[in-house]
Structure 1
Amino acid sequence: MRLVIAAPTSERDIHMRDEKLIALIAEARTIMTQIVGNPDKSIPAVAAEQGRCRVRMMKVTKLTCLDPEIVTAIVEGRQPLKLTPGKLLAADLPIAWAEQKRALGFG
């Protein structure tokens, strides 16, 4: 007996979890928790205490404002194939979720 699995018919049908993207989103949430937990400290002060780069910390933190559907798609491995952690960090993310989806290649 053989199991035959049909090849994906388009890029949308390919599901590949990118553990680095998932880790980046987890890191963003961890950083935000640390910032919110220290309201009397600035982001550079929190970064210095943890030995982190404040610039990277601020870039990663913006990912906490991602559209929840984008986060779900990344966790499920349904993100566009061209979306990498570097591209996600470098993206100039709009506030509106629909615009975020367009900017990151989701539909």
Structure 2
Amino acid sequence: MRLVIPAPSSGDAIQMRDDKLIALIAESRTIMAQITDNPGKSIPILAAEQGRCRVRMMKIAKLACLDPDIVAAIVNGRQPLKLTPAKLLANELPLAWAEQKRTLGFG
């Protein structure tokens, strides 16, 4: 359950910074850097070396391809209220940024 506190005036947008979403985006960038820094290693090997689930690692790595506008909205707390880390990972995100926005509820 989330408590939504309205902005002081109707002209201001409601901002709800979700630190878990931001951490997920940061983790995706870290994983993608590990993948590119180790071209001779597959994701299952990297995951095993780190004691991580390879499936989850692959899902998180895909978030490195999020539309920069979506990333900016999440960092600034302007993401849709229903967007959670679980929902972000559960969706099979398209590569097209416009489709990503529609899939995640950005308009």
Query: TM-score normalized by structure 1?
Result: 0.89
Quote the residue 1:6 is aligned against.
8
Could you tell me which runs of 5 or more consecutive residues in structure 2 were left unpaired when the two chains were aligned.
1-6
Quote the residue 2:38 is aligned against.
38
Q: Separation in 1 of the partners of 2:10 and 2:53?
A: 41
1:13 positional shift: 2.1
Match status 1:55 vs 2:55: yes
Q: Separation in 1 of the partners of 2:65 and 2:80?
A: 19
For 1:19-51, what per-residue CA distance to the aligned partner results, in whole angstroms no more than 9, with x for missing partners? Answer: 000000000000011111111111100001111
User: Greater CA deviation, 88-97 or 73-82?
Assistant: 88-97
- Displacement over 4 Å in runs of 4+: none
Quote the residue 1:97 is aligned against.
97
Q: Separation in 1 of the partners of 2:19 and 2:95?
A: 25
Q: Separation in 1 of the partners of 2:20 and 2:10?
A: 23
Q: Separation in 2 of the partners of 1:66 and 1:50?
A: 24
Match status 1:71 vs 2:71: yes
Count of matched residue pairs:
101
Q: Separation in 2 of the partners of 1:37 and 1:25?
A: 18
Q: Separation in 2 of the partners of 1:8 and 1:73?
A: 19
Identity %: 73
Query: TM-score normalized by structure 2?
Result: 0.89
1:6 positional shift: 2.6
Contact 1:8–1:14 (8 Å) recurs in 2 = no
Q: Separation in 1 of the partners of 2:37 and 2:8?
A: 49
Q: CA RMSD in A?
A: 1.5
Q: Separation in 2 of the partners of 1:58 and 1:72?
A: 22
